[in-house]
Structure formats: structure tokens, C-alpha cells
């Protein structure tokens, strides 16, 4: 029975919602741990893969300055890989938690949303890895390269790469989220157009929060986000048109 089918007297108590949320979070955590265990034997290959965006003369030349830094870096890359491995299952847990609170006609949007979310997240991660990181690292490491020699610690480099990949993965979810909210009638394209100025300001604030504290990284994230926002307006317009057409057909 859907939660929305229940009368106020029959609605589940808050404690049951909290207990269900706790169980979903625990299952998601276990999935990440399993992903970590799967990724651990491949930590060196993952590390070499994450080094690929570096300029060729720096690949394999990263250093560590403290005895535990290499070990903690191995933990970090394995945990990062574990998150990516577990992501579809984690999103499934999110879906199962919110599904009972939806009307029947709303539930049909949720499963496509989950599939599209996984695809868009990995598209954003790939965009960061193959386009943003190589270009950004060449610029940042080449800046004043005539008088300065980069010596990068493995810990700081991996943190930078993981932060950028995860950040771009999540911001690429914007069009999918807008599509779902448009289908549910929460927003429409006119709202997005009307609030474009505030959206631009918000985008630069979000870019500053999600990226390392340098202006170049922030701009490199803000520009794709602006493009995604404009794309989201068209998606919201298309989603609204589909809803109107379905209403007329009914």
C-alpha cells in the first residue's frame, strides 16, 4: 500500500520512516564496503589510471612526504572505486525508500530516472577525466613552469582528481533532476527562465564549493554547469509538453 493511500490515522509513524532510512543507509554502506573489497586488489591499476590525466613527464613521478601517505592513498582510491561500483545499488535503495510516498502515475518516472542518473553521473565523471583534468592539469602545472618545478604529493593529487570526478558526476545530474521535477509538476521551464540570473549566481557558488580553492577549477566547472542549466530549460519544456499531451489523450 502506498503511503499516500493511507489515512492520517493509518500513516506510518516517524519512527518507522527513520528505521527504514537507517536500514537503507546501512545497506548502501555495506554495498560500498563490498565495492571497496573488490577494488582493493586493483589499487595499483586504479592509481595508474588516475595518473593518466597528468602530463606524460609527471606520470609515475608523484611523491609522498610521510610514511603513511602511500597507504592512505591506496585506501582512498579503493574507497573511491567502491563508491562507483556500489552507485547503482545505492540509487536503487534511494528509489525503494521514496517509492511508497508516490502516486501510481508518479512511480513510472522513478525507475527511468534512476537509470538516467547512473548514466549521467558516469558521463560527468568521464567528462572530468578525459577533458577537464588533462586540460586543467596542463594549465595549472605549466603555469610559471619556466621558473618553478612541480613536485606533487600522491595524496594531494588523488584528492584533487577524486574531488573533480565526483563533483562533475553529480553536477551532470542536473538535467535528469529537472526532467523528474518537471514530470512531477514541481517546476516548469518558465520558472527556470525567470530565475536564470539567480541560477547563474548559484552555479558559481556551487562551483566554488565543489572544486578545489582555485579560480581556474571553479570556472572550469561553472561553464559546463551553465550549459547544463540551459539544456535543462529545454528538457523541462519538452517534459511539460509531454505531460500536456498525455493529459489531452486521457
Q: What is the mean pLDDT of residues 81-109?
A: 85
32-67, pLDDT tens digit by residue?
999 999 999 999 999 999 999 998 888 888 899 999
What element of type H or E holds 202? helix 196-210
**Per-residue confidence band for 13, with pLDDT thresholds at 50, 70 and 90:** low
Across residues 89-99, what is the average pLDDT?
86
Mean pLDDT of 106-122: 86
* pLDDT band, very low/low/confident/very high, at 7 (cuts 50, 70, 90): very low
Q: What is the mean pLDDT of residues 111-130?
A: 92
| Stretch among 110-124, 143-157, 186-200 having the lowest mean pLDDT | 143-157
pLDDT above 90 covers a percentage of the chain that reads 53
Quick one: how far is CA 182 from the chain centroid?
20
What helix, strand, coil percent values describe the chain, rounded to 5?
A: 80, 0, 20
Residue 6 has pLDDT above 80, yes or no: no
Question: Can you give the pLDDT at residue 9?
Answer: 42
Q: What is the DSSP letter of 211?
A: S
**SS in 3 state form for 2-50?**
CHHHCCCCCCCCHHHHHHHHHHHHHHHHHHHHHHHHHHHHHHHHHHHHH
Domain map of the chain by residue range? 1-172, 173-250
Give the CA count within 13 Å in the CB-facing half-sphere of 229: 22
Across 56-60, 80-84, 159-163, least confident range: 56-60
pLDDT band at 84 (very low <50, low <70, confident <90, very high): very high
Q: Which three cell numbers stand for residue 30?
A: 555495506
pLDDT of residue 241: 66
Q: What is the pLDDT of residue 225?
A: 92
Residue 150's nearest CA partner among 233, 54, 229 is: 54
Q: Which cell goes with 150? A: 612541480
**Mean pLDDT value across the chain:** 86
pTM: 0.84
Does residue 72 surpass a pLDDT of 60?
yes
DSSP tag of 103: -
Amino acid at each position: 500500500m502506498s503511503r499516500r493511500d493511507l489515512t492520517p490515522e493509518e500513516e506510518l509513524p516517524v519512527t518507522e520512516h527513520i528505521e527504514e532510512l537507517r536500514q537503507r543507509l546501512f545497506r548502501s554502506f555495506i554495498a560500498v564496503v563490498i565495492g571497496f573489497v573488490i577494488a582493493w586488489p586493483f589499487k595499483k591499476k586504479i592509481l595508474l589510471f588516475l595518473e593518466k590525466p597528468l602530463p606524460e613527464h609527471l606520470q609515475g613521478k608523484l611523491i609522498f612526504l610521510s610514511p603513511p601517505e602511500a597507504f592512505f592513498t591506496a585506501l582512498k582510491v579503493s574507497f573511491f572505486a567502491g563508491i562507483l561500483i556500489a552507485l547503482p545499488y545505492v540509487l536503487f535503495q534511494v528509489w525503494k525508500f521514496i517509492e511508497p510516498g508516490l502516486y501510481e502515475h508518479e512511480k513510472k518516472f522513478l525507475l527511468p530516472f534512476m537509470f538516467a542518473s547512473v548514466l549521467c553521473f558516469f558521463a560527468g565523471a568521464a567528462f572530468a577525466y578525459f577533458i577537464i583534468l588533462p586540460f586543467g592539469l596542463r594549465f595549472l602545472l605549466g603555469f610559471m613552469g619556466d621558473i618553478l618545478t612541480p613536485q606533487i604529493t600522491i595524496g594531494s593529487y588523488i584528492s584533487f582528481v577524486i574531488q573533480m570526478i565526483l563533483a562533475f558526476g553529480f553536477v551532470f545530474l542536473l538535467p535528469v533532476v529537472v526532467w523528474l521535477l518537471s514530470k512531477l509538476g514541481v517546476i516548469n521551464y518558465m520558472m527556470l527562465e525567470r530565475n536564470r540570473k539567480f541560477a547563474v549566481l548559484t552555479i558559481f557558488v556551487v562551483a566554488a564549493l565543489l572544486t578545489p580553492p582555485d579560480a581556474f577549477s571553479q570556472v572550469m566547472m561553472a561553464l559546463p554547469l551553465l550549459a547544463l542549466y540551459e539544456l535543462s530549460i529545454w528538457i523541462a519544456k519538452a517534459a511539460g509538453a509531454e505531460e500536456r499531451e498525455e493529459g489531452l489523450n486521457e
